[in-house]
Amino acid sequence: MYFDVGAGYAKVKTGKFSQTTSYGETLKTSDTSDGVAVVHFELGWVFDENWSLGLGYTDYSTAEVKMGFPVYPGIMSILPMPSYSRNVLRYDTTRFALIPSYTYALNERLRLRGSAGVTCNQTNSHFETTYYAWFSGRPNGTFSESLMKEKKISWSYLVSLGAEYSLTKNLALDLSGAYAPFKIKVTPTNIVGFGSGATQPSKNEVNVDSFEGTVSLVWRR
């Protein structure tokens, strides 16, 4: 039996999508990559010196996708329009994974490991919008709103490579890298713009690629 607890960093990147308002404006993704912290736990069983099976849990901190309006033609293009509205899609994800692993011992202390498993992911996503209206009379002329969260549960996979160094008979240090894609949900919503209105997304679901690196302590009974 073993227990693994660790933390690390993930580079997450969504697929591109757009939101078109009822006024004909189109918001497009201007930055789809973000870096987030991850916390990881795994409980498992070792069958022999090579094979093990674990149940893992991973929690990602909140990531964001920046959305931008187009630059308007003519006289509108000389005004500071890019600063009048800021819209981002924020999402946070948790993951459960069933992870078979194969381990190969190089010597008494150092072991290499390869894993490939099935994942169940839950992602909560929502838009946050900030609208700058200089004539509003409000402090800084700022209207901010966080819109309702949407939940998406998706099944996917995980592949991982790692190395483990034994510190004591029962305790080891593990360094690993993983690729674990999942999906987020994009829904119609009221986003503030030059003529604000309900939007229609180009995609209802968007793929997210996650490249993760973690450092863990592993305890074996």
Enter the tokens of residue 216.
Answer: 């863990």
End-to-end CA distance of the chain: 6
Nearest to 121 by CA among 44, 57, 173: 57
Q: Where are the alpha helices (DSSP H) in 53-145?
A: none
Q: What is the CATH number of the domain that holds 115?
A: 2.40.160.20
pTM: 0.83
Enter the tokens of residue 40.
Answer: 């990881």
pLDDT in tens, 154-201: 999 999 999 999 999 899 999 999 999 999 998 877 765 555 566 788
Enter the tokens of residue 65.
Answer: 């996708």
109: Cβ contacts below 8 Å, ≥ 6 apart: 165, 166
The 3-state DSSP class for residue 208 equals strand
Domain hosting 187: range is 2-220
Q: How many structural domains does the chain have?
A: 1
Give residue 80's pLDDT: 47
